[in-house]
A and B are shown apart, each in its own frame.
Chain A
Amino acid sequence: MKPTRFNFLLISILVLSVSVIAVAEKDEILLKNGNIITISGADIKGGDILIKGSKIEKIGKNIKAGTDALVIDLHGKWVMSGIIDSHSHIAVEGGVNETGNLMTAEVDVKDVLDPEDYNIFLALAGGVTTIHTMHGSANPIGGRGIVLKLRWGSTATEMIFKGAPETVKWALGENPKQSGFSMGKGRYPKTRMGVEASIRAIFEEARDYMKAWDDYNKKKDNKVKPLPPKKDIRLEVIADVLRGKYLIRCHAYQAEEMLSIMKLCKEYGVKLAVFEHGLEGYRITNELIKYGVGVSTFADFWAYKWEAFKTMPHSAALMAKRGVLIALNSDDAERMRRLYLDAAKTIRFGGLSENEALRLITINPAKMLGVDKWVGTLEPGKDADIAIFNGHPLDPYTFCEMTMVDGKVLFDRAKYFEDRKKAEEIKKQKEERKKAEEMKKKESEKKPDENQKKPDPKSIETQAPKGGN
């Protein structure tokens, strides 16, 4: 999952990676003369955005900033709120799946964040400012996930999106049932119905666990103090799932199993937040809307396995048009850098409007993650998470030029290339110096050769005799 494509380009000087952060740390920034895509309202041609601290202060025309403000003239470039990727696995250290058990709700991505994952920087280069990074899909109930602001250069704790609800990853279908796996543990379950039954079983276990604690809490002040139940971190998380503490993100492809799990969840009073992938969701839009669950899906990625066959690139648009909350996600470090182009595909295939298409990568995923109060649109009072593009973000020739998180410029394409150029020059100079030194050395080595014409009798004496053959 490490970047390979750009590696050869990224040369020398250690400060390169952090230098981009230092660009603009002014308290007040005025972005002038841009084409602003607010998402929440109409686009503003030739508009300005005033940023104070980490927040958007004002959006409109002819805004005046204080004398201390940093003014960036956008010369008509396109400005949009930072892209939000609601399904990814970057910035995670030491594996995204705990496959040692069927149910692993006890594991937590928050414990293994890698804030130096270079994919974070490359995501910023694609205008992404917020991601949801999570456990994989190996287990019916995997681990807990976390929403990150891509504050490149910060620690793991500082990157966590404050106020965002925690999530739990579930998975249905091929990945948890593992029936097509040639290696690996011969674990239960082997069928889709088995996967669902395993979720039901752990719900029951968690209910027993909750009851055991309730009973204990009632009796603990008795004269004969009972032994408390044993603490079980896994069941505690499942119990919190039953209590509705987490946003549940359920990986599923087929319509039938989505219908089935919604039924099970109703039975236990559990609310699913989002189906991951949900490629067959277009077939059950009425049911999805009635239940009130979102779908985080791909634009045109399908047919890579049996359960991903019965769909088409129109799927996301069809669902969105019917009123299902839809997001386009990456699930991949590379796709993450071009989500705005994926959004464009829903216009080509599904006939969405520009605004509808861009919602799929901004406000919709923000709603899914419970962070729409702070991000997802450009509005006064919201976080200054901003992506600036050289053209309209839905144009295939467009790329991201600058990305801000909390009012700080964390990616600046021009500066990045400038730094790279400098680094190459430094490298070149070093190499030339090295070459020159080597030349000097060679010349100085040649000279003693002439002196050695006269053999030194002592050196012959001390030469070790060559024995053997």
Chain B
Amino acid sequence: MKRRQLCFLLLLTLLVILPAVAFSADEALHSVWAVKDCKVIVQPGRVIEKGVIIIRDGLIEYAGANTVIPADAEIIDGTGLTAYAGFIDAFGDSTLKMPEEKTDPSKAYSGDYSDRERGIAPEIKAYDYANLTKAGITKFHKNGITAALVLPSKGIFTGQASLFSLSQTVKEKAVIIKDNLLGIGFSASSVTGYPDSLMGVIAFLKQEFADLAYYIMHTSRWEKDMNGISRPEYKAEFEELLPFFTGKKQVVFLCRNQYDIIRAIKIGSEYKLKYLICDIGGEAFRVIPELKKSGVPVLLALGFKSPSTSIYSQQGKDVRSEAERELYPSNAARLAEAGIKFAFSSYSTPEPDKFLGNIMIAVEKGLATEKALRALTVDAASFFGVERALGTIEAGKIANLVISQGDPLLKESKVKYVFADGIKFDMKEKKAEEGEKPTVNVSGKWEVTTEGGMGMKYTLELTQEEATLSGKRITQYGQDEFTDGTVSGNQISFTISISAMGRMVDIYISGVVEGDTINGTISFGAMGSAEFTGKRIP
């Protein structure tokens, strides 16, 4: 990593000097907006056919049939458009960039694993590792998602979640609630000490909760009267767990199959936890009576894959694929039918396209669109206790909303604008459509040399499909992929998100193609740029 770090030395120095820079400032120029003559879905089931929405300073100031449009507002003509509350991704980890885990192989002999290696990491905060990049946020926006709950998913105590509004890369500003939810998983890390089996994980949890109860009892007795009682040992791990164990905050059980759900309900009720169930395995529909009895909300992942423990996974390919085509996609519809509340999680479908695409499949399998919308907005907000701030288009709420051509959850609908924290984002269908028709084809490999003192050589692999450009940058240290690049006339441009010193940085590359040569600029936004030359590798 050394050379790469050197390359970004300048950039990093600037990062220290300048405060973190929000991307593309013009998107945030106006803070007052008025959307008029627009169909407004206030919340699923409540529609204003022709309404007005006023957005001021990040909040919805007015949403209703008619009002006087403030003089300082920039007006958006909403004729023929539909506005609805931005979707909430109820659990995902795709925006997390966790530090690389390196386990010392000699530990296999000593068995001397750290708690974190054993998957016991309640101190990990998603907030600290969340990486909100422009490219990442745009992906969510294109699918109408404006808020996401981020939570690490590995281990037993997986870490603490944060809910982000997808309005900016500055997470200090984007965060809505921090450390609100503790993840509990059932998968043991296979070779890293106790526990290394599922039954071990369950025994571990029981012992851990017994120890926590003792810690609370001991501490409170000592605090009541410090005389005549040995003082309790301070335990950082327990201090992290306390608010979740005592029901002040919620936990979420990450369930890989139907049995995990039963286990979660058992543990949750036995220890009187305030808890949610994340149905990673997509098998909630197989334990409906138990879920109904528990009254616990479910965060549904949308992988539509039959878990290996399922009977449908053990009788050959045909049975399995039939189940995955017919049965598993009907999960949400069946829960809705049974009156179990749920939200949707992008965990098994980290690409937002697939997330939304699979929700549409769930709708095809019998889930009412209104229920789906409810799960994506009001219900998700209420599970995290932020229903006063998110989930509907009502005055006083955070201005997270989507304006699209066509109603939500229809394949033919197109998202036009997204507001997150009152910041407007224009969704372009394909950036290239506004440019000229491409006159070049850059598909293939290119050897790129950057100019200047810290000149560097690397390979670009480009794939051009008409005016869109995707590909990857291959350096000796790894690969960085990109999509959403454009070709206009003989000009190319694209953005690569790279990680430098544990931070994601967007670099913008643009160039002019002449025959087998590209000349252009690599720009680090406001923090400087460098020239480069690329030669086609035959």
Contact = CB atoms under 8 A, between A and B. Distances in A.
The 5 closest A-B pairs by CB, nearest first: A94-B198, A100-B194, A467-B440, A185-B111, A95-B197
Interface string B399-432: 0000000000000000000000000000000000
Contact of B110 (A14, A186, A230): A186
B195 A98 contact: yes
A467 B199 contact: no
Nearest to B200: A98
Interface string B163-175: 0000000000000
A230 to B, nearest CB: 5
Interface string A101-137: 1001011110111101110000000000000000100
A95 B198 contact: yes
A100 B107 CA distance: 13
A13 B322 CA distance: 8
A185 B194 CA distance: 11
Contacts of A3: 314
Interface stretch (B88-96, B140-148, B205-213, B338-346): B205-213
B439 interface: yes
B115 to A, nearest CB: 13
15 contacts: A14-B326, A94-B188, A98-B200, A99-B196, A100-B195, A100-B197, A108-B203, A111-B198, A186-B110, A186-B111, A227-B221, A227-B229, A230-B214, A465-B438, A468-B440
A465 B439 contact: yes
Contacts of A113: 259
B225 to A, nearest CB: 10
A107 B197 contact: yes
A109 B259 CA distance: 13
Nearest to B192: A100
Main secondary structure of the interface of A (DSSP, over half): loop
Interface string A52-95: 00000000000000000000000000000000000000001111
Contacts of A185: 108-111, 193
B513 A467 contact: yes
Interface string A440-469: 000000000000000000000000111111
A270 interface: no
B516 A12 contact: no
Given A100-B195, A104-B203, A185-B109, 11 more contacts: A95-B196, A104-B200, A114-B259, A183-B109, A184-B109, A186-B109, A224-B228, A233-B203, A464-B437, A467-B442, A468-B443
A13 B311 CA distance: 12
B475 interface: no
B310 interface: yes
B466 A464 contact: yes
B515 interface: yes
A113 B515 CA distance: 66
- The interface size bin for chain A is 35 or more
Interface string A398-427: 000000000000000000000000000001
Interface in A1-33: 2-3, 7-8, 10-14, 16-17
A114 B309 contact: yes
Given A227-B218, A231-B214, A14 B108 contact: no
Contact of B316 (A10, A93, A100): A10
B323 interface: yes
Contact of B311 (A17, A104, A233): A17
Interface string B465-476: 010000000000
B327 A14 contact: yes
Contacts of B262: 156
A230 B199 contact: no
Nearest to A120: B311
A101 B327 CA distance: 40
A107 B314 contact: no
Contacts of A99: 196-197
A126 B309 CA distance: 22
B199 A16 contact: no
A94 B318 contact: no
A95 B186 CA distance: 12
B199 A98 contact: yes
Interface of B: 108-111, 186-188, 193-203, 206-207, 210-211, 214, 218, 221, 228-230, 259, 262-263, 309-312, 314-316, 318-319, 322-323, 326-327, 437-444, 466, 490, 513, 515-516, 536
A187 B312 contact: no
B198 A2 contact: no
Contact of B203 (A7, A92, A107): A107
B305 to A, nearest CB: 15
Nearest to B322: A14
Contact of B199 (A13, A108, A234, A466): A108
Nearest to B311: A116
Contacts of B441: 464, 466-468
A107 B199 CA distance: 6
Contacts of A106: 203, 206-207
A401 to B, nearest CB: 21
A464 B466 CA distance: 7
Nearest to B201: A94
A469 B515 CA distance: 8
B199 A143 contact: yes
Contacts of B110: 185-186
A221 interface: no
A17 B314 CA distance: 10
A465 B437 CA distance: 9
A235 to B, nearest CB: 11
Contacts of A109: 199
Contacts of B309: 93, 114, 116-117
Contacts of B207: 106, 231-234
A198 interface: no
Contact of B312 (A14, A108, A114, A184): A14
A38 interface: no
A323 B287 CA distance: 48
A175 interface: no
Contacts of B197: 94-100, 107, 112
Contacts of B513: 467-468
A93 B108 contact: no
Contact of A12 (B188, B193, B229, B322): B322
B203 to A, nearest CB: 4
Instruction: Name the residue in A117, A118, A186, A467 with the highest tally of chain B Cβ atoms < 10 Å from its Cβ.
Output: A467
B319 A14 contact: yes
Contacts of B195: 98, 100, 107
Instruction: Name the residue in B195, B310, B314, B441 with the highest tally of chain A Cβ atoms < 10 Å from its Cβ.
Output: B314
Contacts of A230: 210-211, 214
Given A114-B309, A231-B214, A100 B200 contact: yes
A127 B198 CA distance: 30
Contacts of B315: 7, 10, 16-17, 118
A104 B199 CA distance: 10
A259 B28 CA distance: 82
Contacts of A111: 198-199, 202-203, 263
A12 B197 CA distance: 33
B314 A2 contact: yes
